[in-house]
Amino acid sequence: MAVSNFLSKGSLLKQGAEARVYRDIFLGKSTIIKERFPKKYRHPLLDEKLTHRRTVQEVRSIQRCRKAGIPTPVVYFVDYTSHCIFLEDIADSVTVRDHIVSTQHQSHPSPTLEHLAPLAVKVGQILAQMHDEDVVHGDLTTSNMLLRRNGDVEDASELSLVLIDFGLSYISGLPEDKGVDLYVLEKAFLSTHPNTEALFQKLLESYTASSKKSSAVIKKLDEVRLRGRKRSMVG
């Protein structure tokens, strides 16, 4: 199967940190092709190891999530030699990042929290479900969550949210790993979306209410935050 044919025909959607993402038709379906091309800045042995590991992990975690009913794209096909994953195209979707940014612009000066609270609740629920399956995402940002445009965005139960980009994910039951997962999200969230502390709080409350194991995770989250604040930063 000449995967490279697909890549030369498909249209480049985005060049992320790890991969080029294309859109094409595969077996009659609109498909996202994620190609982890070699990164020339790093040593070839390290590059090969990381690329392979991440392709494998991404597929594995997506499948584990889907089995548990956590919305992620269907994997259509994987090519481990060219490190390409063929994924269901989440059609008519926007990243949560873009959605929050545009809502913040539109609703100005009326409070953003009101409009975005249902989304925060939804994100909290899905992450709780994911962590309860012992999937640690490893790269939680609002760029790695897609929101389908249909449905009422003011009602959490109507929102259709899809988690993507599991390249840095792994399986772990440790509260520490899940706490760090939330810590990474918190920092990415607050730096990307200034003045959304209350919104993120809402997300955490929803996580806490939805996860069976949340208390140990939130305790670790507090610990990791404190470590960050206590770090001396000499030099």
By annotation, the residues acting in catalysis are: 139
3-state secondary structure of 107: coil
143 C-beta neighbours (distance < 10 Å), count = 17
Q: How far is the CB of 61 from ligand ATP (least distance, A)?
A: 12
Q: How far is the CB of 231 from ligand ATP (least distance, A)?
A: 25
Residue 90 binding: pick among ligand ATP, Mg ion, other proteins, none (C-beta 5-8 Å cut-off by kind): ligand ATP
Q: Hey, what are 146's tokens?
A: 């897609």
One-letter amino acid identity for 86? F
Interface pattern 150-179 for other proteins (x via CB under 8 A)? ------------------x-----------
Nearest to 153 by CA among 121, 193, 111, 197: 121
* Paired residues of 161 in beta bridges: 147
Interface pattern 191-210 for other proteins (x via CB under 8 A)? xx-x----------------
* CA separation for the pair 117, 199 (Å, rounded): 6
When the beta carbons of 44 and 151 are compared against other proteins, the nearer one is 44
Q: How far is the CB of 1 from other proteins (least distance, A)?
A: 26
Q: Are 83 and 60 in contact (CB under 8 A)?
A: no
**Of 112, 142, 144, 211, which one interacts with ligand ATP (CB under 6 A)?**
144
Interface pattern 183-222 for ligand ATP (x via CB under 6 A)? ----------------------------------------
Choose one: 126-134, 162-170, 173-181, 221-229; the region binding ligand ATP (CB under 6 A): 162-170
* Paired residues of 162 in beta bridges: 146
Residue 93: alpha-carbon gap to chain centroid: 14
Q: Backbone dihedral region of 213: left (phi > 0), alpha (psi from -120 to 50 degrees) or beta?
A: alpha
Using rule CB under 8 A, residue 109 touches other proteins: no
Residues found in the chain = 235
Q: How far is the CB of 29 from other proteins (least distance, A)?
A: 26
